[in-house]
C-alpha cells in the first residue's frame, strides 16, 4: 500500500488498539489524531483498509481492529524505534554487570526483559557448537584420572573427567595444556579439525594416546547439541492479556513449555533477519502461537550470534517498545560476553 494517508490511518488504529484494547472507530480517530482530513475521508480509508485485509470489524456496529496483515505492515513501516531512556539504559547495564557467572547472566537477562516488555521473555543458552574456546585447563586427579575444563568465549564452563588405561605422565600435561590453548583459543569447532590433528602428530608416539583422548573430549564437547535450552520468565503477563485470545491462553502456555518449539522458532527467526526479527500471528507456524507475536534478536561476542533472546505476547503488543527492549538487552548481553 503506497497511500501515505491510509498508512497514517492504519498506524493510528494500531496505536489506539494497543493502548485501549477497544475496537477503533472513525469518530475516535478524528478526535485523537490530527489526520488532516474529514471524517468521511477517514471512513473511506478505513473501508479500503478493511477490503485490503489490514483491519477487520469484530462485531457489527463496532470499530475496527488490526489483522495480522495490518500489524505486519505497521511493523514493516516503523521508521524509528523509540530509544530507551538514559535511566533505563543505566538500569540494564548495572543489573547485568552485577552477574557473577553465565547462569546468573542468563537468569538476570530473562527477568529483566520480562519486566521491560511486560511480555513473556525467553533466552536461549549460548550454544557450544557456535562458541569458540577461550581457555582449556587440564587437572590431574590421580595416576589414572584427568579433569578437562573447557571455557568458551560465552562464559560457559564444561568439565569432563577422563579415566585413563595407563598411569598419567604429569610431565606431558603442562606441554599439552600450553599447546592446546595456543592452537585452539579463539577458534570454533569448525575451524579446529585440522589444527588439532596436526597437534596430535607433534607429540611423541608414547604420548599420542593421551593427546588423542583429550582432543576427542574437546571436539565432542564443543560439538554437543543436546545442551541447548531455553529459560523463560513473565508467563504471568499472559494472564493479564487473556482477553486478547479468542479462546483460552492454554495453547499458548503449552507451546511455550515445549523447548523444541521455541528453539526451532528462534532458529527460523535467525534466518529472517540479522538484527531484530518479528513474527506476527499466523507467521508462527505452531498452532499454539498463532495468536501471538514474537520479537527476537541474536546475541554473542564480537558480533557473532551464539544464541537468541526475545519476547512473546499477544499480537496486540507495543511493537516499537518491545523491539527497543529486546535489542537493548541483546546488545548489553553481547558486551558482557565479549568482556
Does the domain at 4-76 match CATH 1.10.10.10? Answer given as: yes
CATH superfamily, with its number, for domain 86-127+228-338: GAF domain (3.30.450.40)
Write out the three cell numbers for 214: 583429550
User: Which distant-in-sequence residues (6+ apart) come within 8 Å of 99 by Cβ?
Assistant: 105, 107, 108, 336
Model confidence pLDDT, tens digit, residues 220-260? 877 765 456 899 999 888 877 767 787 778 888 889 888 88
| Average per-residue pLDDT for the chain | 86
Q: What CATH number is given for 129-222 in this structure?
A: 3.30.390.60
Write out the three cell numbers for 171: 610431565
65 and 12 in contact (C-beta within 8 Å)?
no
Per-domain boundaries in the chain: 4-76, 86-127+228-338, 129-222
C-alpha span between 129 and 188 (Å, rounded)? 8
C-alpha span between 295 and 312 (Å, rounded)? 7
104 and 112 in contact (C-beta within 8 Å)?
no
C-alpha span between 317 and 73 (Å, rounded)? 14
Model confidence pLDDT, tens digit, residues 61-97? 778 999 999 999 999 988 677 778 888 888 888 888 8
Write out the three cell numbers for 209: 594416546
Stated pTM of the model: 0.77
User: Which run of H or of E encompasses 89?
Assistant: helix 86-97
In the block, cell 495480522 appears at 68
User: Which distant-in-sequence residues (6+ apart) come within 8 Å of 245 by Cβ?
Assistant: 252, 291, 314
Amino acid at each position: 500500500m503506497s497511500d501515505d494517508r491510509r498508512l497514517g490511518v492504519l498506524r493510528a488504529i494500531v496505536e489506539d488498539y494497543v493502548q485501549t484494547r477497544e475496537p477503533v472507530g472513525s469518530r475516535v480517530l478524528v478526535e485523537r489524531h490530527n489526520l488532516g482530513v474529514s471524517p468521511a475521508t477517514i471512513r473511506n480509508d478505513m473501508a479500503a483498509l478493511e477490503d485490503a485485509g489490514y483491519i477487520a470489524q469484530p462485531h457489527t456496529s463496532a470499530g475496527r481492529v488490526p489483522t495480522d496483515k495490518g500489524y505486519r505492515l505497521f511493523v514493516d513501516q516503523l521508521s524509528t524505534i523509540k530509544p530507551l531512556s538514559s535511566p533505563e539504559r543505566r538500569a540494564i547495564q548495572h543489573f547485568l554487570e552485577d552477574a557473577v557467572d553465565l547462569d546468573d547472566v542468563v537468569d538476570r537477562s530473562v527477568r529483566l526483559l520480562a519486566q521491560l516488555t511486560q511480555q513473556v521473555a525467553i533466552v536461549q543458552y549460548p550454544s557450544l557448537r557456535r562458541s569458540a574456546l577461550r581457555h582449556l585447563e587440564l587437572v590431574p586427579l590421580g595416576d589414572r584420572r584427568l579433569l578437562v575444563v573447557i571455557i568458551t568465549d560465552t562464559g560457559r564452563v564444561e568439565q569432563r573427567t577422563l579415566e585413563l588405561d595407563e598411569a598419567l605422565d604429569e610431565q606431558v600435561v603442562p606441554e599439552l595444556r600450553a599447546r592446546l590453548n595456543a592452537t585452539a583459543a579463539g577458534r570454533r569447532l569448525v575451524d579446529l579439525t585440522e589444527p588439532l590433528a596436526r597437534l596430535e602428530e607433534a607429540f611423541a608416539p608414547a604420548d599420542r594416546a593421551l593427546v588423542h583422548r583429550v582432543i576427542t573430549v574437546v571436539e565432542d564437547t564443543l560439538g554437543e547439541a543436546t545442551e541447548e535450552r531455553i529459560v523463560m520468565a513473565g508467563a504471568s503477563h499472559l494472564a493479564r492479556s487473556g482477553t486478547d485470545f479468542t479462546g483460552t491462553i492454554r495453547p499458548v502456555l503449552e507451546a511455550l513449555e515445549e523447548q523444541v518449539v521455541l528453539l526451532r522458532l528462534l532458529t527460523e527467526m535467525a534466518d529472517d533477519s540479522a538484527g531484530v526479527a518479528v513474527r506476527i500471528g499466523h507467521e508462527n507456524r505452531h498452532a499454539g502461537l498463532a495468536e501471538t507475536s514474537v520479537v527476537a534478536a541474536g546475541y554473542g561476542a564480537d558480533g557473532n550470534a551464539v544464541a537468541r533472546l526475545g519476547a512473546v505476547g499477544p499480537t496486540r503488543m507495543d511493537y516499537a517498545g518491545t523491539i527497543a527492549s529486546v535489542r537493548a538487552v541483546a546488545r548489553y548481553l553481547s558486551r558482557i560476553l565479549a568482556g
